[in-house]
Amino acid sequence: MTIQKSKRIARLEINPENKCVSVRIDTIITEGGSIIGRFMDRRSFVPGQLQEFKDYVGSTDSPEISYLNATWTPEVIAAYQAQIEANRIL
C-alpha cells in the first residue's frame, strides 16, 4: 500500500482590528485510503507578510491568498506598522 501525505488549510482567522492572520495547516498521512496520522501546525502573520504566508501554506494561488491580497493594502500595512510603532516602549 502507498503512503500519501497531503496538506490543507484547516482554519483561517483574521483579526478585524489589525488584519493579522492566524492559520492552521493540517498534514494528513494516509495509507490505502485510511488516515494513519494527522499533524496540526498554527502560525500567525501580520499585514505585509504575504510571501511568508504563501511559503507556509505551500501555494501561490488560493482563495485565501486572493483575500489577503485584497485585504493587506498599502494603507492597512502602514496602519499596522504605525500601531506597532505607537505601542513601542522606548
pLDDT in tens, 22-75: 999 999 999 988 999 999 999 999 999 999 999 998 887 889 999 999 999 999
Residue type, 21: V
Q: Rounded to an integer, what distance in angstroms lies between the CA atom of residue 42 and that of residue 71?
A: 20
Q: Tell me the three state secondary structure of residue 4.
A: strand
pLDDT band at residue 5 using 50, 70 and 90 as cut-offs: very high
Q: What is the pTM of this model?
A: 0.83
